[in-house]
A = this chain, B = another copy of it.
Amino acid sequence: MDKATLIGLMLGIGAVVGGQASEGGNIQSILQLTAAVIVFGGTFGAVFLSFPFREVIGAFRGIKKIIKEPPQDPYEIIRQITNYTNKARKEGILSLEKDVKSVDDPFLRKSLTMAVDGVEPNMIREVMEKELEYIDEHGKLSAKVFKSAGGYAPTIGILGAVLGLIHVMENLNDPTKLGAGIATAFVATVYGVGSANLLFLPISSKLDMRHRHEMIIKEMILEGIVSVSMGENPRLIEEKLISFLSEKQRSGQPMTTER
């Protein structure tokens, strides 16, 4: 479970709904079907028109990803690569052939296979960097889908508000409907601004952070496998890989090789 995702969701929505309730504001006065249809129908309409079907669906599947902790622990990867280095130096790089089969991560498997196949280090780097480029481009799309939803929602909220106000204006001669009508119209603004700022934009940002986290791990794998295939010193490799991590990630982590 990703702590920050959970805290963020509960704190954000809790604060707004709770703040509203504590003032004696009726929760029902911000539940309104028409406003929801206009704002969310309009926003998702705009999103589907903006992106390929498969990317919109993929973005929604991405939400699952940001609720769980990121599956790959960079220290686990560093340990794994340090093991490969030690083995390759003792028994030759061909000895890693059996290890390839037990690797789940497709990027690590592909790089390791090339190294075991004796592909030249520079060639491994070139091919895998090209692959990384496209993985990066495709991987950024989920965040982009939510960012675009976060861009459409507030303006469509305003559209809903204006439509509501038109309705109100047509009934101006019936002053009793005035206040409630305007209140109704404002709910669309609440939905648009609220969904964008408490959900869509933060989700987009978290998806971006996760994607970058995954990319850094892939860049670390690439650097590590290239170093393994060049037969570099295990301690140097470990030091190189640790430099991919932030200071916050490094603190309190045991080193894998003694010094």
Contacts and interface: CB of A to CB of B under 8 A. Distances in A.
Interface size class of chain A, counting residues whose CB lies under 8 Å from the partner chain: 35 or more
Contacts of A187: 166
B51 A206 contact: yes
Stoichiometry, copies per complex:
5
B54 A248 contact: yes
A253 interface: no
B194 A159 contact: yes
Interface of A: 2-5, 7-16, 18-20, 22-26, 29-30, 33-35, 37-38, 40-42, 44-56, 58, 127, 130-131, 134-135, 138, 141, 148, 151-152, 154-156, 158-160, 162-167, 169-173, 178-180, 182-183, 186-187, 189-190, 193-194, 196-199, 201-203, 205-206, 209, 213, 216, 223, 240, 243-249
17 contacts: A3-B53, A8-B45, A15-B38, A15-B40, A15-B41, A15-B42, A16-B38, A19-B41, A23-B34, A46-B198, A131-B243, A152-B202, A159-B193, A163-B190, A170-B180, A171-B179, A173-B179
